[in-house]
Each structure stands twice: as structure tokens, then as C-alpha cells.
Amino acid sequence: MPTHRALQFASLTFKSSQKMENSGMFELIIIGAGVIGSSTAYQAAKRGKKTLLLEQFDFLHYRGSSHGESRTIRATYPEPYYPPMVIESEKHWRDAESEIGYNVFFKTEQLDLGPADNSSLLSVISNCEKHSINHQILNRHQSNSLFSIEIPEDWIAVVTELGGVLKPTKAVAMFQTLASKHGAVLKDKTEIVDVEMEMDERRGGVLVSSRLGEKFWGRKCVVTAGAWMSKLVEKVSDGRMVLPIQPVETTVFYWKIKEGKEVDFTIEAGCPSFASYGEPYIYGTPALEFPDLIKIAVHGGRECDPDKRTWGAAVAGTEGISMAVGCLKEWIKSTFGERIDWEDGPVMSQSCLYSLTPDEDYIIDFLGGKFNEDVVVAGGFSGHGFKMAPVVGRILVDLASGGKAAAVQLDEEIKHFKLGRFERNPRGNVKGFEDQVRLT
Ligand SMILES: Cc1cc2nc3c(=O)[nH]c(=O)nc-3n(C[C@H](O)[C@H](O)[C@H](O)COP(=O)(O)OP(=O)(O)OC[C@H]3O[C@@H](n4cnc5c(N)ncnc54)[C@H](O)[C@@H]3O)c2cc1C
């Protein structure tokens, strides 16, 4: 449900949208008001840029990737380029919280489990060392005595300080409210169907058109369309540009904690956010959003068309869901024992979208072609982008405002996210460990 503040700004937005077509040129138009677009709008408006944020559905809708009750934040990544982004993001999350006056980030420790020879987990450890992230490696006995978690004899657990839960819908509402407060114009129910380079000498820049025929002018445009990214880019480039982003429908599950054990799984009792690098990759967050329920899910899903969803419940009997639930039951039984009611299966599920790239790395780049550096794309967050929204927003505003000169400055941060990697290798960045998202 939208918060009171969100409702307030929605009505303000409606009034300002009446005058939209006459409001002249925006410095930045952002297409897509998920967490990435909303955070970008906040950062741009805060820097004094005349900003417009456009969304095809209602604000805070449940049809994309940024809704719901919990997302994990963790600095543990097998790739060396993500931990510094998370560390910067943590600071921005706290700054935004201070500005809005409520919390969207609930910090815990992060616990990563897996076979002692798992290549991803070994890379996680080496990145902790590389980036001076405090970490402790636990054996079976230590993980049991510190966290009451059972792992097999040949597994280890890595505990780090930066973990926790972000509240997605609340966080998106926060960024939108702050963007509005800093002067951004926000407009929902506006599906963008065209982006053209405006040849009119008086205006220049980018012309963005909606399905209903509204037109918006911007000096620069950032496209943050989530699972609709490939469709939209293909459409606006007349089929010339196809981004390698596959929409995937994933299902998260909530499990009942047995009576008398509820406190064990709370943040207050020290329950960490966690990930298990076995087969499949499983993740979870402490009990927070629903009383006595804990979220534990498989990092995977089914390829889909974002406009023709099956939704989780409709496919409860299908092979993919049954396999995921079967794996989760086994894992919960061996990891948490009889403290969670695994036998009866999950008591609640929610459907959500991933935007998957072949290497599971983000795409952050100029669109190029006729759009040159005037249109920036940010997508393919591959099921791990929420925590990064603040830092990605900062990068996107830098790129859109500074063009190629900014890209040179930002090269160390964005070189793994450029589109050119797929021209060199359709699989993208080469890694020394396995993919994490499991497709069924
Ligand atoms: C179940 C689940 C669990 C996850 N867990 C984690 C986690 O623990 N940690 C983590 O960091 N990340 C996690 N993620 C990933 C994270 O949530 C996503 O990476 C992030 O939300 C992506 O945001 P986005 O803004 O790119 O996409 P979206 O939120 O989908 O936003 C894109 C927006 O663009 C709009 N749009 C599309 N086309 C148009 C158009 N033509 N005109 C106007 N608007 C348009 C869409 O309607 C949508 O609102 C998880 C994702 C899921 C689904």
C-alpha cells in the first residue's frame, strides 16, 4: 500500500502533469519508475536538474521488480567490482533515510554458506580480503554455536558485518517523495512508446512520446525500464538494437516458523540475512515483514514475457515451482531443522521479475547508434540490483550530464557494465565461477 506521504505527492504530481506539455525542456527524462529510475530521479533533482520521471503503470505497482517486502543488502560478491558499490550504497541509503525521516534499511550481519571448495564462495572470501571487508570464516561447529545453523561437515560459513533487509516498496516511495520534494515532476500511467532525437534546432535533445500521444522534451534521457528494457529499446530503435536482457519470472516463498521459535529468526535476536552457495543458490532474510514467517527462496525462475505473466500461483503445480519447493524443503530441514515447518511447504508466495543478462552483470551505458550519448540505458540487474539503486542513480546522473568525458572518469566503475562486452563475447564477462541464477 502507498504510504500517506506517497499519496500526498501523487496528487501533487497529477496537478503538475496537467501543464506538462507546456513545461518546456527537461534536463533529464527518466523512463521507468522502479527503484533504479526513482533513485536516479532523486539524485538528479537533488543536484538541481529539471527532472521528469515517467512510469507506464501506477506508481508503486506490483508488476515489475521493485515491489514487495524485502530485499537483501550484502557486500559479499564473487565479482570484485560489486563490493565497493555496496559500500557506497550503504552510505547513500542512510543519507536518504535521514532526509525522509524513516527507515527502509534494517541492518544485520550477512552469512554466506557453501562447500569449502565452492569457487564462488572462495571468490567472495578473496574479495573480502581485497576490499578490507571484516569477515570471519566459520566451520560447522562454529556456525552452529554462533547462528544455530547446521551445515555439512565439508561446508564453511562466512560472516560479514554489512548485511540486512531493504524494504522495497517503501524505499521506492521514499525516492519518489524525495525527488518530488527536490522539484522533479513525476507522472505515472504514461507508457512511453517512442524516443527520438529531436532535430528541431530550437529545442534539440530527445523527444519522448507516450502511447496517448503526449510529448516530452529532454536534453538527455535515461531508460530504466526493468524487464521491458529489450522490448522498449527494440521498438524505439526500429528493431536495430536488441539488448541481451531476458525477463524471468521468479517466485519467493514464505515459511512458517514453529511456535516457540519465532524469536530465533528476528533481527533483534541476531538472525542474519543469508545465502547458500550450494546447488541451487538459496537466499533468505530474517523474519520481519510478516509475523512468524521467514522468506527463503531459490535464486532462479522461468523465462517470460513481462506482459504475459503466468504469475506464481498459476503455475504452482508446474515442474519449476515443484523443484524449487522440493530443494527448499530439503535445505531448510538440514539447515534449520525442526524450527521451521518445512514439511507442509511454503505458506505464502509472491511473483516478481528478474531482468537477466547472460553474465548476470548489469548494463549501464550510452545506448549509442543514432542516440549517441544522449540516451543512457540501465538494466539487466539480474536479480541483484536493488541494494545498488543509490550508487547506480549517482552513476546515471553523472553519465547523462557529463557524456563521454564522464564515462572516461567513471571507467573503473562501469567498464564491466558496457554493452560492447557482448560484441566481443555473446556470453559477456568471463568469470571463473558458475552462474548463480537457475532457470527452469
Ligand atoms: C523476488 C526478487 C528478489 C530480489 N532480491 C534482491 C535482493 O535480495 N537484493 C538485491 O539487491 N536485489 C534483489 N532483486 C533485484 C532487484 O529487485 C532488481 O534488480 C531491481 O528492483 C530492478 O529495478 P528496476 O528499476 O531496474 O526495474 P523495475 O522495478 O521493474 O522498474 C522498471 C520500471 O519501468 C517501467 N516501464 C517499463 N517500460 C516502460 C515504458 N515503456 N514506459 C514507462 N515505464 C516503463 C516499469 O513499469 C517498471 O515500473 C530481487 C528481485 C526479485 C524479483
- 436 or 166, greater pLDDT: 166
CATH number at residue 256: 3.30.9.10
Q: Which of 335, 356, 377 is the last residue in one of the domains? A: 356
Lowest mean pLDDT among 16-25, 304-313, 396-405, 421-430: 16-25
259 and 364 in one domain? no
Strand partners, 165: 72, 106
Percent residues over pLDDT 70 in the chain: 92
Q: How confident is the model at residue 440 (pLDDT cuts 50, 70, 90)?
A: confident
The full length of the chain comes to 440
Residues 346 and 208 in one domain: no
Which atom of ligand 1 is the closest one to the Cα of 283?
Answer: 8
Q: Which atom of ligand 1 is nearest to the CA of 387?
A: 11
* Average pLDDT of the residues of the chain: 93
Provide the residue range defining the domain that includes 126.
107-165+246-356
113 to 5, 251, 391, 412: CA distances (angstroms): 40, 22, 27, 30
Residues 134 and 340: their CA atoms lie apart, in Å, by 30
Strands 438-439 and 300-303: parallel
For residues 158 and 23, membership in a common domain is answered with no
pLDDT in tens, 74-133: 999 999 999 999 999 999 999 999 999 999 999 999 999 999 999 999 999 999 999 999
Query: For residue range 348-406, what is the model confidence (pLDDT) as tens digits?
Result: 999 999 999 999 999 999 999 999 999 999 999 999 999 999 999 999 999 999 999 99
User: 39, 67, 71: which to mutate for ligand 1, most atoms within 8 A of CB?
Assistant: 71
- Please tell me whether residues 333 and 211 are part of one structural domain: no
For residue 43, being part of any structural domain is answered with: yes
Q: Which residues line ligand 1 (CB under 6 A)?
A: 31-37, 54-57, 64-66, 71-72, 191-192, 224-228, 232, 250, 252, 352-354, 379, 381, 383-387
CB 379 within 8 A of CB 210: no
Any domain includes 285? yes
- CATH number for the domain that contains residue 368: 3.50.50.60
Q: Can you give the three-state secondary structure of 373-428, one letter per residue?
A: CCEEEEECCCCCCHHHHHHHHHHHHHHHHHHHHHHHHCHHHHHHHCCHHHHHCCCC
- 367/351 same-domain check: no
Residues 263-289, mean pLDDT to the nearest whole number: 97
Of 339, 356, 373, the residue at which a domain comes to its end is 356
My answer on whether 149 and 259 are in the same domain is yes
Please state the φ and ψ torsions of residue 192, each to the nearest 5 degrees: -85, 130
Task: Verify that 116 and 203 share a domain, yes or no.
Answer: no
Same domain, 257 and 341: yes
- Reduced to 3 states (helix: H, G, I; strand: E, B; else coil), residue 273 is strand
Q: Is the pLDDT of residue 5 over 90?
A: no
Q: Please state the domain count of the chain.
A: 2
Residue in 310, 299, 246 with CA at minimum distance from that of residue 275: 299
pTM: 0.95
- 315-348: per-residue pLDDT in tens? 556 777 888 999 999 999 999 999 999 999 999 9
Nearest CA to ligand 1 atom 13: 384
Position 99 in a domain: no
Residue to mutate (ligand 1; options 234, 386, 387, 392; most atoms within 8 A of CB): 386
In a domain, 97, yes or no: no
Quote the pLDDT of residue 19.
46
Residue 88, domain member (yes or no): no
- CB-CB neighbours of 323 under 10 Å: 15
In the predicted structure, residue 62 carries a pLDDT above the cut 90 = yes
Asked if residue 20 has pLDDT above 90, the reply is no
Helix axis angle for 83-100 and 389-409, nearest 10°, is 120
